[in-house]
Structure 1
């Protein structure tokens, strides 16, 4: 039984990898010189696997005269709120957060780069049969309303002309552990979540990936898993420190993307989960952002269409995605 489960998981992971968005190779600029005077950056982080490069940035930045003050958040939405209030300088947020805050009239959020891409499959409780999109009818599906994965799901349903009310949405608050517990208790039939909680459920035999229910590649939202963002204030007053943060992050990201075992080890330390969970999980994630201004504009238009945001900001949202620092660093500093 154990061998058959492992064989099934391997087959699923191979299929998921084939769907991941390819990330072009780049030549990272040489390490920047230390700042002439120490400067503090307050950085908000969320413990999800695709942000594992965060693990080593404090030590790297210390050499560059950038002092890191770290603040942990459970959800992207909490980090977004902290950025908008100015209580942190840089944070990891959802890839669709720019149009959301802009529609609210707030311009204090500047997107810097995406972080990773992945295919997304509905995770279904063992014993429940969901083989195709028609099978979600009447099922209780756990969602985190307003989350990045929820946006991916809603956009995919719209593109497939599947009524949102065809299933029963069960709102679940908190981190991924709450989804795992709800599935195990039988409160829900399936869930939309993120790694490593998806692989944790599948690896334990409590659920399975519904291989035909892929919702991570809609045209409107795309396969991006997250976004690094800064406050507009930090971009004006601490730009050199922000540049060094991005170099440190890209440096760590590059190293982990080339070494799956190192990625799994860093992932394990970062989120506090065993290697038998993180090793299969890293096979699903391709480090390196795929987000760009065009995708953000598409998201803004779709969010307004779905009624998520009251105002269509697609014509202006691109002004608040500044990937110039990342592009310069990824082209050797030119």
Structure 2
């Protein structure tokens, strides 16, 4: 993995120059659909992250609409993607790159449905460490989760800024975000590239800070999207009525949380099991609602194929593996 990453940044001349082209965040959901005459089960993989807080609000609502929702927790996007491709799930919350990754692996039974949220992303520095610019990464130990959604964002940003990946020491951290924080707190690394709430925790506890000049969520190739809802094409066709109600319920819950920051923080705390004050802090920087678009995913697919991260360029397959009609119908359009 180390050699592949170094090779990726050896071709920094391939830096991406396309415009962002973010989609407009979704507005309020349309009228509530009628219950299904025959109950249908959907098995959905999810993670305990803030931008998926609406997931915890829709089980009872969907039951009343004739959809039995079975939620299956996964620690990582990659694990949920693997389960979806294996046929164990109907739907999964995955990373923005996972549609392209799935297609590059040869899977034809996947379809992107919608994004879920965005936030600014900053390297989290260890208190006392100088991280005023990307140049300050030189010689530092930076903890990363290789292949993760945030790693894709970070990697794309470094390419665009012409920062050699081998100018710092990338420390691969396995497992959940708490492992990143432990490494930072113990002084084993100088900075971490991670996700909420594990970004806010070091700041609140005083051993870390947001290195705001090292923002990496606005690369032209990857952008600011935090995640994506992806389904099997089998579920999207054979269980379409249930899928339509799932998307409607999700967008309805999402809109409720967008309008009420306190309710969002409470839902985040319930989902993650974290302390309410930490959940409230972490929720402040998250904007619910998709910003990803098929064009953005095409740019990402091409860029990372060019750089050797994804096996082949599948940008030409994205339109056929994206179905925006679920969101359109849920919004009553």
Q: Same fold (TM over 0.5)?
A: yes
Contact 2:28 2:255 in 1 (8 A): no
CA RMSD of aligned residues (A): 1.2
Q: How far does residue 278 in structure 1 lie from its aligned partner after superposition? A: 1.2
Task: Report what 1:83 is aligned to.
Answer: 84
Matching of residue 36 in structure 1 with residue 32 in structure 2: no
> Unpaired segments of 5 or more residues in structure 2?
1-21
Give the Cα–Cα distance (whole angstroms) in 1 for the partners of residues 23 and 311 of structure 2.
34
Q: How far does residue 26 in structure 1 lie from its aligned partner after superposition? A: 2.1
Task: Report what 2:296 is aligned to.
Answer: 295
Task: Report what 2:226 is aligned to.
Answer: 225
Q: Deviations over 1:47-104 (max 9, x none)?
A: 0011000011111100001111111000000000000001011110001111111111
Give the Cα–Cα distance (whole angstroms) in 1 for the partners of residues 283 and 210 of structure 2.
16
Q: Secondary structure at the match of 2:292?
A: coil
Q: How far does residue 24 in structure 1 lie from its aligned partner after superposition? A: 4.5
Task: Report what 1:119 is aligned to.
Answer: 120
Task: Report what 2:179 is aligned to.
Answer: 178
Matching of residue 284 in structure 1 with residue 292 in structure 2: no
Contact 2:112 2:228 in 1 (8 A): yes
Figure out how many residues of one structure are paired with residues of the other and give that number.
312
Where in structure 2 are the equivalents of 1:102-113 lying within 5 Å? 102-113=103-114
Task: Report what 2:16 is aligned to.
Answer: none
Using the size of structure 2 for normalisation, the TM-score is 0.91
Where in structure 2 are the equivalents of 1:1-334 lying within 5 Å? 24=25, 26-330=27-331, 332=332, 334=333
Give the Cα–Cα distance (whole angstroms) in 1 for the partners of residues 139 and 156 of structure 2.
19
Using the size of structure 1 for normalisation, the TM-score is 0.91
Give the Cα–Cα distance (whole angstroms) in 1 for the partners of residues 81 and 326 of structure 2.
21
Q: How far does residue 182 in structure 1 lie from its aligned partner after superposition? A: 1.2
Residues 25 and 221 of structure 1: is their aligned pair in 2 closer, same or farther, counting only changes over 3 Å? closer
Give the Cα–Cα distance (whole angstroms) in 1 for the partners of residues 137 and 317 of structure 2.
36
Q: After TM superposition, which residue ranges in structure 1, 4 or more long, deviate above 6 angstroms?
A: none
Q: How far does residue 173 in structure 1 lie from its aligned partner after superposition? A: 1.0
Give the Cα–Cα distance (whole angstroms) in 2 for the partners of residues 201 and 269 of structure 1.
21
Task: Report what 1:18 is aligned to.
Answer: none
Q: How far does residue 22 in structure 1 lie from its aligned partner after superposition? A: 9.3
Give the Cα–Cα distance (whole angstroms) in 1 for the partners of residues 145 and 240 of structure 2.
34
Give the Cα–Cα distance (whole angstroms) in 2 for the partners of residues 139 and 328 of structure 1.
49
Give the Cα–Cα distance (whole angstroms) in 1 for the partners of residues 283 and 30 of structure 2.
26
Contact 1:143 1:193 in 2 (8 A): yes
Give the Cα–Cα distance (whole angstroms) in 1 for the partners of residues 186 and 59 of structure 2.
39
Give the Cα–Cα distance (whole angstroms) in 1 for the partners of residues 324 and 24 of structure 2.
16
Contact 2:91 2:232 in 1 (8 A): yes
